[in-house]
Structures are given as structure tokens and as C-alpha cells.
Amino acid sequence: MVGVVLRNVTKRWGSFTGVHAVDLVIGDREFVVFLGPSGCGKTTTMRMIAGLEDPSDGEILIGDRVVNDLEPKDRDVAMVFQNYGLYPNLTVYENIRFPLKVRRVDASTHDARVRKAAAMVELGDLLHRRPKELSGGQRQRVALARAIVREPAVFLMDEPLSNLDAKLRVSTRAQIKNLQHELKVTTIYVTHDQIEAMTLADRVVVMNKGRFQQVGTPTEIYDRPANTFVAGFIGSPAMNLMDGAVAAGVFEAPGVRVPGLVGYPDGPATLGFRAEDAEVAAGPGGEIAAPVYSIELLGDATLVSVRVGPALVAARAPKTFRAEIGDPVSFRIGAAGCHVFDSASGERIEPAPAMASPGPARADLGSTMPIGATA
């Protein structure tokens, strides 16, 4: 089994710390995506795994080996860069073959391995061309094939799709996911694009300011964000966030009143909900009522935005919904679709568990019986 382990890994440059004591265990054959805004430390973390940067503290293991002191060529990893890194004077065939020559792999195996890697990314009929004769998508596939031909223990991909147009991103994203499934190789992928992260990853590592904010499956991170940063970064559109206060199970802010938040402590709080968890209706009513700020036709739905205090709040309406800017609308938000965060720290707040009713358990209590109780 070949996984990757980070133990208390830190990277400092003088007084500036780019990565703060991160810990992570990546399983064999797992596809993990490092996600975050520019400058958050995700590429630095990958470069330390690759051996292109030395950690200031901590240990990095690939398989059962501590690799801190190993050269990049000795770590058995293959890296795909954002800028492709192709040799312009070499053909596609020779670009793919180059890692085999550098590593002095038996020359008799080169042709078969090059053609197999090229076929995996549908480049079999382009092997005679040079990079300048290829499209951006084709160049990226050459870079992928060059990594594949190595047959490494770990793939490292640093924003490989950022130079492609939207249509090519979709098709190349699907190709990368399928390749990882076929090759069954541990893969670490860096991106600032949350759609790439959500569609590709087995697990996502959300980073900000050199720290891990949350590690989990795409579903876990989308459904239960650990803090307001994750909530506001994941999703398209991002989760709506409004500052206010909870009192006796009711969240209130200027223009907002959401009841039913049972079990949450009283005090200042940030309320979050996703656009698809609200219903839009014309006219007043609901938990939020305000004039339309903007309206966007998305094809399968209509995104309606209103301004509530300083916050711009969006809800997803049916594609047939029509309104003009300035028209009164209302959003209905069920408590079940709400998330509550601490206003000061931004951390998620979980409601206190409901108290069991006093007295002996009875069969006719139905769903109110405590778990494990018998009639």
C-alpha cells in the first residue's frame, strides 16, 4: 500500500509561516484535493510532498518511508504542472518518453509504455506532432501521459486545468477522474476551483491561511461545513450567511426572523442556508421579505437575490419564476435547512440534543421513545 502521511508539517520563510503544523493521512489509491484561495498554502504543501520545498518542521511519509531527506527523483512521484512543462523541440512521443530516458528504464520497454500511456489519454494519432501544433487540451493530455508513463506510486497535480476553457475543463476533468480509477494510484490534486474539488475528490482538504479548515468527503463538506469560511467557499452560489442573534430558538436580524432553531444557545450568531434550501414567492411573507436585487436565469432554475442589511442573499426559484428588479419577494427558510455558526470564531454550532421526556417509556410513544428503550 502506498499512501501519504503528513505529520505536523510546517513551512516557514523567516517570520512568515506559509503552512501551519498540518496533519493528514491519505490512503492508498485515494484521490485527495487540496482546495483553497490563492496564497492559502495548498501548492506549498504539494511541493513539500514532491520534494521541491523542504518542510521547516514535521515529517512526510510516502508509503512507509520518511522522505524528508530524499531528492524528488527518489520519491516515486510524478507531477503534472499548471503550465504543462513540455519540451517544444521534442515530439509528443519523445515528451512522453522523456521520464523513462532520464530514469534509465530498459529501452526495450519504452515504445510499448509510451503508446499505452498515449492511448489512455487519446493521443495515439498525435505522437508525431510538436507542442506548438497542439491545442491547450492536447498539451495537457501530453503532460498527463508523461506522468502516467512513469507508473509512479503517487500522482501530484497542481492546478492542471486552470489554463483550459470551460468546455475543455469539463471533459478533461472527467478524463482525469476515469484515469485515476483505472490506474488505481494515490492522487493529490491542487485547485482553487471548488467544482473541480467536489467532482473529483474522494476527500477534500479545505485550506485557508496555511491551515486545514476541514477535511472530509465532498458531501460532508457541503452538507456540514465546519465554519463560515468553508460555508462561504463551497457551493455555487456559496452559502448565504447573515449576522444576528438567537433567542429562545428564534434567529433574528434586520429583515430576518427564522423560528424553530431548537437547542441552539442564545446569543450572537451567524445563520447560513443554501440557495436550494429556500423557497421563493412573490410578495411579502416568509422568513425574509425584501425587494429583488438581481435575478439570473440559469437554464434549469432562476437565482433570485435580495439585500438583507449588509448581506446579499440568494435563493433558487423554478426556471419559470419571473420578477423584475425592485419587485417584493419573500424567502421561506425551514429550520432544517439552516446552519448556525459562532459569530466570533466562525465555528459551527451544533444544537444541544433534545431532552428525553420524563417518566417510563411506553410503546405508544412511537418515535419519541429514547433509542434503545423497550416497551
Q: What tens digit of pLDDT does each residue of 310-359 get? A: 899 999 999 999 999 999 999 999 899 999 999 999 999 999 886 444 44
| DSSP character string of 70-122 | S-GGGTTEEEE-TT----TTS-HHHHHHHHHHHTT--GGGHHHHHHHHHHHTT
pTM above 0.85, yes or no: yes
Other Cβ atoms less than 10 A from the Cβ of 278: the count is 24
Between 375 and 192, whose confidence is greater?
192
Give bridge partners of residue 306 from the DSSP assignment: 292, 313
Instruction: Report yes or no: 107 and 139 within 8 Å, Cβ to Cβ.
Output: no
Per-residue pLDDT band for 1 (boundaries 50, 70, 90) equals low
SS3 67: coil
Per-residue pLDDT band for 363 (boundaries 50, 70, 90) equals very low
Nearest to 155 by CA among 10, 2, 368, 352: 2
- Encode pLDDT of 57-68 as tens digits: 999 999 999 999
Per-residue pLDDT band for 172 (boundaries 50, 70, 90) equals confident
How far apart are alpha carbons 83 and 222 in whole angstroms? Answer: 30
Between 333 and 166, whose confidence is greater?
333
Q: What percent of the chain has pLDDT over 70?
A: 94
Complete domains list, the chain, with CATH:
4-228 (3.40.50.300), 237-342 (2.40.50.140)
How far apart are alpha carbons 205 and 207 in whole angstroms? Answer: 6
SS3 333: strand
Backbone phi, psi, residue 21, to 5°? 40, 60
Highest mean pLDDT among 71-75, 79-83, 220-224, 370-374: 220-224
- Encode pLDDT of 195-252 as tens digits: 999 999 999 999 999 999 999 999 999 999 999 999 999 998 999 999 999 999 999 9
372: pLDDT strictly greater than 60: no
134: pLDDT strictly greater than 50: yes
The rounded mean pLDDT for the chain is 90
Say what the pLDDT of residue 357 is.
44
Say what the pLDDT of residue 354 is.
64
112: pLDDT strictly greater than 50: yes
368: pLDDT strictly greater than 50: no
As to burial, measured by CB atoms within 10 angstroms (0-12 exposed, 13-18 middle, 19+ buried), residue 320 is exposed
309: pLDDT strictly greater than 90: no
Lowest mean pLDDT among 146-155, 181-190, 269-278, 349-358: 349-358
